[in-house]
Amino acid sequence: MGVILMKVITLLTKEGKARYMLLDHNNEPVQPVLHYLKFKDNSGASRNTLRSFSYHLKLFFEFLEQINKDYRDIGIDEMADFIRWLQNPHQDVKVSPIFPKQPIRKAKTVNIIINTVLGFYDYLMRHEDYSIQLTERLKKQVPGSRKGFKSFLHHINKNKSFTSHILKLKVPKQQPKTLSKDQIALIMNACVNMRDLFLIQLLWESSMRIGEALTLWLEDFEVDARKIHIRDRGELSNLAEIKTVCSPRSIDVSEDLINMYFDYIAQFHTDEVDTNHVFIKLTGENKGQPLEYTDVVALVQRLRKKTGIYFTPHMLRHTSLTELRKAGWRDEHLMNRAGHAHIQTTMQMYIHPSDEDIRKDWENAQDRMKINKENKENNE
């Protein structure tokens, strides 16, 4: 039996918004997934979330085809097999690697896919068939708090418990990947026009996400106050949108960045441009139209090839927030600039001193650690 592939197709709503549908190998919609995605869409899930859910469930239903199981007949053992299948380089239940190989998906990715599938089954239980109790069978009660820190009321809640899923891979802790200032300078020097240079400088200085940069309109720049306002306008014509309900915020920027903004607008936002999106395409048949994610991907690939530096737009954000943390920014200010919903997210991601930082602090503190001990030889 060969690997049976399904496919995800993109549909456009009457409002011109992109939505997704999972088709089986007969090009028929997978109805339970169709209903679930519609539910998530009506619940306010973002386009990127819907797209991710579609591809995660595509993997799951391909797995079900291979083991010849109906989605209503899945238990704990099959879910454990699915985890192993997700890590199998061959993506086939009948083929296993002869020699040990690295899993094709990281533990974090596998956990995200499993959570999507469990969310799907939770929907089925609540909305279609209450006899489908898969998510309930995969839960366990864990004493303590699901948070990785002791809260202010820990002494009150310490005897309580929380619900956790038993199917969860351990994820090694990793620090966000960052760039050096010299590397960022090389990337900027490799830009061939003011738009690209302005975009890289904006991502580095403002700490914003690339999706947020692509949603910016001209009126979002308050030049006198040297502020940029990130606003929630939903899904825009270039398919850009902000990430979360906490993303709308105002960001202080430098006078240099505002001057770059003026230079870029004067050069490229001519009378022929019929959009108030800040970032636009500079060439081709769609010249003057809003810049899209695919355009940014192409730009990053060109800059990688030119500089030999591997980077992503999100690495510029991580680097920016890490540098602000090193500069002494308070946690709550860093959280606001990042657009995080919880301060713990900010602390876990950006409070990670380097070996150099630890060494420097030790050198500054070691004199305070000295103890004046009596010299036994002199006392004898």
Active site residues: 209, 243, 314, 317, 340, 350
Do residues 261 and 249 lie in contact, with contact meaning Cβ atoms separated by under 8 Å?
A: no
Helices (H), the chain: 31-42, 47-67, 76-87, 107-127, 134-137, 154-157, 181-189, 194-206, 210-214, 255-268, 293-307, 313-326, 331-338, 343-350, 355-365, 376-379
Do residues 341 and 246 lie in contact, with contact meaning Cβ atoms separated by under 8 Å?
A: yes
Q: Which helix (H) or strand (E) holds 161?
A: strand 161-165
Q: Which of 325, 74, 143, 306 is nearest to 83 (CA)?
A: 74
Return the structure tokens found at 141: 């009660």
Q: What does the DSSP 8-state code read for residue 290? A: B
Which residues, in sequence order, are bridge partners of residue 352? none
What single-letter amino acid sits at 209? R
Q: Which of 52, 66, 68, 53 is nearest to 5 (CA)?
A: 66
- Please tell me the distance from the alpha carbon of residue 248 to that of residue 258, in angstroms, as a whole number: 20
Return the structure tokens found at 272: 């022929």
What's phi and psi for 12, nearest 5 deg?
-110, 130
Do residues 291 and 214 lie in contact, with contact meaning Cβ atoms separated by under 8 Å?
A: yes
Strands 7-12 and 18-23: antiparallel
